Amino acid sequence: MELLEILECSPPLAREPLSAGQAAGVARVFKALGDPVRLRILSIVASRAGGEVCVCDITDAFELSQPTISHHLKVLKDVGLLTSERRSSWVYYRLVPETLGELSALLTVPTTV
């Protein structure tokens, strides 16, 4: 089951406990976001005007090797937070807004009146 499917069928945490499968899927996302480099990469992509970033711009923002950045990008793609598109020799990354929206909805705590 894809992460977005897990998130879409997961109720907000304050309403109903997650199943074991739902919890495992959501935990993968939090584990990916638990790394400071990956959190920064997600922030770089999210804050970029136009909503996409060339891998060259991401690599330039870090003092890490290109293979290390590629590994972090792969992890973010594997959990459904980023998508990519190759254009000639460069790869451009975008957020997957549906995944972030579902993750946000999962964490939303309803306010009581």
CATH classification of the domain holding 90: 1.10.10.10
* pLDDT (0 to 100) of residue 113: 46
Over residues 76-85, the mean pLDDT reads 94
Is residue 41 domain-resident? yes
Residue 111 has pLDDT above 70, yes or no: no
What is the C-alpha separation between 10 and 18, in angstroms, rounded?
7
* pLDDT (0 to 100) of residue 74: 96
* pLDDT (0 to 100) of residue 8: 56
Share of the chain above pLDDT 90, in %: 51
What region does 77 belong to: left with phi over 0, alpha with psi -120 to 50, or beta? alpha
Nearest to 81 by CA among 22, 36, 23, 39: 39
Average pLDDT, the chain: 84
**pLDDT tens string 21-76:** 888 888 898 999 999 999 999 999 999 988 899 999 999 999 999 999 999 999 99
Is residue 57 domain-resident? yes
Token look-up 């996302």 returns 29
How many domains, the chain? 1
Over residues 12-22, the mean pLDDT reads 75
